Structure 1
Amino acid sequence: MPRDIAPLASALEDATSSEQSDVYSLLAAWNQSIETALDRGGWSRLQEIRGQYLEDVIDFVDTAATADGIDWAFLEECIDGYPPGVGDHHCSSILVNVVARCVIRTRISEGVDSIPPWALEYLAAVTVEDDGEWAWESTAAFGWAVGHPEIAVLNRALERAESGDESWAMGILEHATFADPEAGIDLLERLLNSPDIVEDLLFVSCLHAPFEQDFPDFPQYWEPDTELDYQVEISDDLHERLLAIIGQSIDPDRLKHFDDSYRFDLERAADEYGPANDA
């Protein structure tokens, strides 16, 4: 067995399913093995270990955190040991995935008010630079907290986009639309009307998935449709409102030029809701 994965393989072998105390040892072993792999084999070796072990480690932590309902206190303790945005550990790829799952589960099963604010602040604090792109992609689950009584999800997404972090706002837009299509379209309208935001059609493309499926593709290694009863419901009126926002906010020539690349009828949006109809 290669030396870099010895601590991780041993921790997995010794761990007992649903045993929270074993999670601490497993996270420490993961962190040690990834650090050693990077030192000795670089990025390619890291990818090999992720491909071989990451799903198993995530599943173990997820099972331990949810065996008797979501144990938010346990997750918070894990995150206190491996906080976001510090760049001195490799556990965010595991913990962000599990927290994101639990945010979505809680929204659907208990309601948005039951999502702890600290979990949302955790997701919002993860960065590509310090935590890695793989972990960062799952932070879009922040969008499932739209309507939260303490965290203004739509305002936060708009502020981040206006300060230059449009990529993060795109993920939030997609997930918020899964959670609450009307709120997601509200956010799209605010984004398209902001003078500080450059992108337009890329934001529109973020709504493709919620119009075609019931759950997002991130967090990975999870099949939410096997455990959660949920369907995205988008009325014809809401669909029409989306076309109106697109037609009123984006240059009609751009809409017609890119019409074939989008699932929405951009040409009709331009013709029926564009500036020519203001007269």
Structure 2
Amino acid sequence: MPHECDACGETFNTLSRLRLHDCPADEPDDPDPSSSFDAFLDSISDTLSANMQQRSSERRKRGLEAASDALKTTLEEAAQGGVDAAFGLIGRYERELREYHDREDYDTYRGILWAFYEPVAAALDENATREGWDFLVDLIDAYPRENTVEEPLVSPVIENAVGRHVIRTRLEDGVAAIPAESLVYLGSFWESMGDVSGEESLTYGWGIGHPDHSAVDHLRDIVTEELFWVHGALSHTFYADQHAAADLLEALLTDERIDYEDRYTLASVLGTVDDNSPPQIPRYWDLREEVDYHFEFDEAVRSRLRETIEAEGFHRRLGGDWTFSDMKI
């Protein structure tokens, strides 16, 4: 006895074939391949994000379990304030990170690093806000960066506190009030790009225009050696002073020492800046909430940079009605 599909009218000799057939009625009227693919990509992204969050949570849990009671106690003491307590916290944090790092137990090392990163950075920032630059100078002197091999493992949280200080100082008192030593310190981590310490030092860009330390010269000097650190610092130069940043970017985009593709990579920073999302560095510190800062492009600067992009031919790989957002990579 034939079996008819109620939806499409096709007949089958068995119920199994009826159930398994590809019924046209099950397909959307106007299938959109791009939307299906987008949904597929979204599902992958969601899965990866969930997996990463799970791994991050497990790593932090491992770090909390491995950390000594002494580290947890010194964190509580430092959170209540006091320079001595803050130095005690950093000393204990460094020792425990070093212990697992030297054992090559990198999972536990990273677990402790991230489990305590935010509260340690907050404790340092509170002391720096209360005590001023002198507190940070003493911290840098106690944990100096000699080179990439001998870099203290607590460097990222110190850079985090220094970066917050640099930004606050510039916005409240102007670029000249930023301690030049803070820029020298942050600018020394460009060789660590790819590590947390390299990322935390990107606030170096807030020093553009400093009368006693030329961030522009430093960025131009190292661009062919560490493109991505310069790219990361560039976004911060725009947040600090978009006119000076535009001068710097134009100089880089017309610098024939730099490979053409690398120059396009540098130009892509405009997409990051133009989407008006707050910078992710310093970690665990929201520029908008902390200092009520919002970036807006000056239209004259925007127009000038569009002309430079077109003069260098970068617009040819974009659509006809292109915007800076189209340049994000």
Where on the TM-score scale, by shorter chain, does this alignment land: which range? Answer: 0.7 to 0.9
2:97 partner letter: I
* Higher deviation after alignment, 169-178 or 207-216: 207-216
* Higher deviation after alignment, 17-26 or 32-41: 32-41
* Higher deviation after alignment, 91-100 or 8-17: 8-17
1:123 partner letter: L
Structure 1 partner of 2:303: 240
Q: Cα deviations across residues 65-104 of structure 1 (Å, max 9, x unaligned)? A: 1125xx1111001100101244252110110000011101
* Cα deviation, residue 230, structure 1: 2.4
Contact 2:75–2:89 (8 Å) recurs in 1: yes
Name the SS of the counterpart of 1:207 in structure 2: helix
Higher RCO (CA < 8 A, seq sep 6+): 1
Identity across matched positions, percent: 27
Contact 1:178–1:215 (8 Å) recurs in 2: no
- Equivalent-residue separation in structure 2 for 1:4 and 1:132 (angstroms): 26
Distance 1:231 1:214, change over 3 A: farther
* Cα deviation, residue 126, structure 1: 2.0
1:106 equivalent in alignment to 2:166: no
Distance 1:59 1:264, change over 3 A: same
Rg: which structure is higher? 2
1:17 partner letter: Q
Distance 1:185 1:258, change over 3 A: same
2:302 partner letter: H
Structure 2 partner of 1:270: none
- Equivalent-residue separation in structure 2 for 1:89 and 1:141 (angstroms): 19
1:24 equivalent in alignment to 2:87: yes
Q: State TM-score, norm by structure 2.
A: 0.72
Counterpart among 169, 173, 187 of residue 248 in structure 2:
187
* Cα deviation, residue 142, structure 1: 1.2
- Equivalent-residue separation in structure 1 for 2:214 and 2:164 (angstroms): 20
Q: Which runs of 5+ in 2 are unaligned?
A: 1-63
* Cα deviation, residue 212, structure 1: 2.3
1:256 equivalent in alignment to 2:319: no
Distance 1:212 1:88, change over 3 A: closer
* Higher deviation after alignment, 100-109 or 136-145: 136-145
Counterpart among 135, 151, 166 of residue 74 in structure 1:
135
Contact 1:18–1:67 (8 Å) recurs in 2: no
- Equivalent-residue separation in structure 2 for 1:141 and 1:33 (angstroms): 27
What count of residue pairs does the alignment treat as equivalent? Answer: 259
Distance 1:11 1:145, change over 3 A: same
Please, what is the CA RMSD of the aligned residues? 2.4
1:264 partner letter: F
Q: State TM-score, norm by structure 1.
A: 0.84
- Equivalent-residue separation in structure 2 for 1:259 and 1:85 (angstroms): 47
- Equivalent-residue separation in structure 1 for 2:247 and 2:127 (angstroms): 37
Q: Cα deviations across residues 85-128 of structure 1 (Å, max 9, x unaligned)? A: 44252110110000011101111111001001001000011255
1:13 equivalent in alignment to 2:73: no
Structure 1 partner of 2:196: 134
* Cα deviation, residue 4, structure 1: 4.7
